[in-house]
Structure 1
Amino acid sequence: MYIYDSVQKTKREFTPLEDAKVSLYVCGPTVYDDAHLGHAKSALVFDLLTRVLSANGYDVTYARNITDIDDKIIKKAAEQNKDIKEITDFYTDAFHKEMEAIGVSRPTIEPKATESLEVMIELIQKLIEKNHAYTTAEGDVYFDTASDSEYLKLSSRVQEEDEKQQRVESSSAKKNPADFALWKSVKDNTITFPSPFGAGRPGWHLECSAMIEKYLARPNSEFAVDIHGGGADLLFPHHENEAAQTRCGTNHALANYWMHNGFVNIDGEKMSKSLGNSFFLKDALKIYDGEVLRFYLLSTHYRSNFNFNTEDLASSKKRLDKIYRLKKRLFGLAENSDKTPFQNELLHVLSDDMNVSSALALIDEMISNANETLDTAGKHKELKRETISNLAYIETILGFGVKNPFEYFQFGVDEETKAKIDVLIASRDEAKKIKDFATSDKLRDEILAFGVTIMDTPQGTFWEKV
């Protein structure tokens, strides 16, 4: 398996720190607002990564944090006159439901910042003891970037002199302009936590380093985890600062491999709340089936910036429809459990830094060949079993085609209408049983009036939206 290391800027063969086991840490959401398409893209990328790793025989421990301590959370709680936990619980629950809707599995571990304060404080104390951090007169604790000879090497960033001067003037309490907060002293009546440094709140960068040490780091290992991932916007300063904290506070580097997914643009413009184009996932799910969004957001390579627009989404949906049309054609038949050449090739291309373009091309070819052969005379029993097996493998490794093929084509029909159609179909089935064809035909016409088609199969009667 090969992974593009976004720090070393090269594709590297993947070798785990421990045989057959992989530790993966991905930066999760700050739960003060609804998830947007950028959150969805990142979650999908690392969901796919865990699937590909598992398909290659690795036992994956995947941790994705929940940031539930943040100034934005406190501000929203104050604006809505709510308890901070009420805010974080609401948005955490919403995040989980929306991720489930696009087929993202829960991580192995999902630590919260509020549950990791003790280990954060321990890491700060280590950094102070090793002269990599200092306390200001105001009670803040900063990481001393000048004490770390490796600082900025992760992001290959160079700080310009005018940038340094500007930051010095605006941050007189710091020793160095690039120094960042490990602990923020709070003197007002907002949420604070006790610490040896005084009442306050931890810095954002700190929590990931601390959680990795608490949940994933191996003793006496050169690296804390195998893979650290997140959006490209996190490389600097977030991941740069995480790496510095861990490197200076522990006996190992943070990660052996770094992976970053590209940005999401909306109609060619970078997605941003300040621009008013931050497309919330909950809104997208009102318009599009969750699996359609999954297929579309994964349809380009994870490292590329993704341009979300309705025209491309419609084209992408047609490719997913083909999977379901074939699945419907073979509905109810038994699966052949033997590994097929198609499955081997699919895993091979996905193991090459998740080459999803080649994977989708293989799927298109498999579908086309299967349909062409099934259209010819003959029962093609073995082909059918092999194709069903291939479709099941696509479900497992890519998360495409997981639904009942008939229900997939019902998206956009409200629950009340679905219930009415189901009642009419049940009545029609009863009429057919007693050979009351006049009533059966009348009920069929009533069903069709809802803008759907019906299909009578050996497994029952199914319908889909036209």
Structure 2
Amino acid sequence: MKKTLYLFDSSKGKKIEFVPIKRGEVSVYVCGPTVYDHAHLGHARSAIVFDILRRFLESEGYRVCFVKNFTDIDDKIIKKSYESGDTISEITHRYIDSYLNDMDALGVKRADIEPKATESLNEIFDMIQFLIQKGFAYQTSHGDVYFSVNQDSKYGDISHFHENPKDLLGRIENDEEKKDPRDFALWKSYKGKTDIGYESPFGRGRPGWHIECSAMIEKYFEATQDYSIDIHAGGSDLLFPHHENEAAQTRCAMNREIAKYWIHNGFVTINGEKMAKSLGNSFFVRDALKEYSGEVLRFYLLATHYRASLSFSTEDLLMTKKRLDRIYRLKKRIAGTQTTSQTTSFFSHFQESFKNALRDDLNISVALSVIDDFIATSNEKLDTNPKDRSLKSDILYAITEITSLLGVGDRDSIEYFQQGVNEETKKEIQNKIAQRTEAKKNKDYEKADCIRQELQTLGIALLDTPQGTLWEKI
């Protein structure tokens, strides 16, 4: 029997029990990036958060269908194309590849389906036509098609954002032919050579942003009478207007709710401001990866609860790395361990505590505390019983569980502590270690100590073991 999982539903404003629409199956749609530039740490955090949600659901025995889209037609992409001279296709392919490479480096699993908005134009046309036919949308004399917010009595139920129409005038596209300032574009008519257009039943133009996600969800998931999917996820900045508008479109066109649960992650901030390309304070993942390994960045970005804002700090990142180091130091102590067919209560207690923390709305703070306690206790037990095979097997099982759910700790421990050292330097270090070993063999301990001190000055620490001398970067 599955244990109860609680998730914070943004639309309800509280943690609620998660019960999937279909027993044993979970459908998840995550709003992916608009591909006009490289991914920043805000994109990375969102990807990692929902990667962990997916991993946990799978560990609980659910069959998960995970879809994350790419917005490959948008005002920003069109502007970049016009300014750079590159085609829309060249720009979007370049930044999709860049995004996927960055996510691979961060250990984010590829989605089951990674659709592009331009691959779902027919579904977009169908949904817009449904909305027009049902009286929820209208076309202006300029050719634009708008969703009529006043026709949806439930508009605002997802975000609980009910602004006065006059207050919205500075935040939305203005069009004198709109019936209501809150009405949003389903189809944007072609505006000339600085625009891009596709032929459609509504004339030449392109889709609005919100309709793209609604249509892709209809295309790639098998809906039920009440819902299109189980979980709709994304950054908290998407709650309004994007997710509110998605919900309205699907509700009115398909006569069902788009999602049973709405899950949103918090921002990554710098100096108190949300990290965003539009604000000019983006810290690109590709730049961060030049300074830190993908695993260290991943561990740092997941170490704050997903709903809280994360204020980026180099000092905090390095502190988080020390926590990751402790996992690898424990792994180093049990190198060569073979798993047994059975586990003891020591592992069972860890696993239950660890997973119970994640069942509580992915409570990473408690989960990491459980890991810290487990590492401390494991080291104490190893100090007392260094040859206890069942203990070492339990520790290995626990580290495997951490790796499976959090996506860290799967590297060879020796390789982990040698990262950042190039191959030429590694050869020089090994030569020094060989010289030291020879000196010790000849009882020239003064020379051996000098070599150790020389390497320590270079930032290399040595560890003598029965299997030989190991080294690591300090």
Structures share fold, TM-score greater than 0.5:
yes
Q: Do residues 12 (structure 1) and 20 (structure 2) align?
A: no
* Percent sequence identity over aligned pairs: 52
Change in CA separation of 1:350 and 1:75 when aligned onto 2, cut-off 3 Å: same
Q: Deviations over 1:141-185 (max 9, x none)?
A: 111111111111211112225326778994211111101001100
- 5+ residue gaps in structure 2? none
2:222 equivalent to 1:217:
yes
RMSD: 2.7
Alignment deviations for residues 290-334 of structure 1 (CA, whole Å, 9 cap, x no partner): 111111111111111111112222221111111111111111211
TM-score, normalised with respect to structure 1: 0.92
Asked if structure 2 preserves the Cα contact closer than 8 Å seen for 1:126 and 1:249, the reply is yes
**For residues 470 and 405 of structure 2, what CA distance do their matches in structure 1 show?**
28
1:268: how far off? 3.2
Q: In structure 2, give the amino acid aligned to 1:171.
A: D
Q: Deviations over 1:12-50 (max 9, x none)?
A: 111111110000001000110111111011111100100
Q: Is the 8 A contact 1:48 1:398 kept in 2?
A: yes
Instruction: Give the distance between the partners of 1:254 and 1:229, measured in 2 at CA.
Output: 12
C-alpha distance in 2, partners of 1:186/1:255?
32
Number of the residue aligned with 2:40: 36
Structure 2 Cα separation of the partners of residues 71 and 207 of structure 1: 14
Q: 382-391 vs 418-427, which deviates more?
A: 418-427
Give the Cα separation in 2 of the matches to 1:142 and 1:247.
Answer: 16
SS at match of 1:60: strand
Aligned partner of 2:404 in structure 1 is 396
Q: Which one is further off, 41-50 or 286-295? A: 286-295
Q: How many residues align?
A: 462
Q: Secondary structure at the match of 2:362?
A: coil
Aligned equivalent of 2:413:
405
- C-alpha contact 1:332 1:459 (8 A) present in aligned 2: no
CA distance in 1, matches of 2:190, 2:411: 50
Shift of 1:430: 11
In the other structure, the counterpart of 2:167 is 163
Are 1:386 and 2:391 matched, yes or no?
no
Residue correspondence of structure 1 range 276-287 to structure 2 within 5 A: 276-287=280-291
Q: What displacement does 1:453 show?
A: 3.1
CA contact (8 A) 1:336 1:388 kept: no
Alpha-carbon distance change, 121 to 21 in structure 1, aligned in 2, over 3 angstroms: same
Tell me what 1:365 maps to. 373
Counterpart selection for 1:348 from 345, 356, 360: 356
Cα distance in 1, alignment partners of residues 173 and 301 from structure 2: 43
Query: CA 1:298 to 1:424, structure 2 compared with 1: closer, same or farther past 3 Å?
Result: closer
Pair 181,461 (structure 1): closer, same or farther in 2 beyond 3 Å: farther
State the one-letter code of the partner of 1:393: E
Whether the 8 Å contact between 1:40 and 1:281 is mirrored in structure 2 is yes
After superposition, residues 37-186 of structure 1 pair within 5 angstroms as 37-160=41-164, 162-163=166-167, 170-186=174-190
Instruction: Measure the CA separation in 1 of the matches of 2:169 and 2:377.
Output: 64
Structure-2 residue corresponding to 1:2: 6
8 Å CA contact 2:189, 2:203 repeated in 1? yes
User: What TM-score do the two structures reach when normalised by structure 2?
Assistant: 0.90
Paired residues for 1:196-275 under 5 Å: 196-218=201-223, 220-275=224-279
SS in 1 for 2:250: helix
Q: CA deviation at 1:347?
A: 1.1
Secondary structure at the counterpart of residue 116 of structure 1: helix
Change (3 A) 1:25 1:391: same
After superposition, the Cα gap between the structure-2 partners of 1:110 and 1:272, relative to the gap in structure 1 and judged at 3 Å, is closer
Q: In structure 2, how many angstroms separate the alpha carbons of the residues matched to 1:117 and 1:62?
A: 21
Relative to 1, partners in 2 of residues 1:376 and 1:165: Cα closer, same or farther, differing over 3 Å?
A: closer
- 1:154 alignment partner AA: I
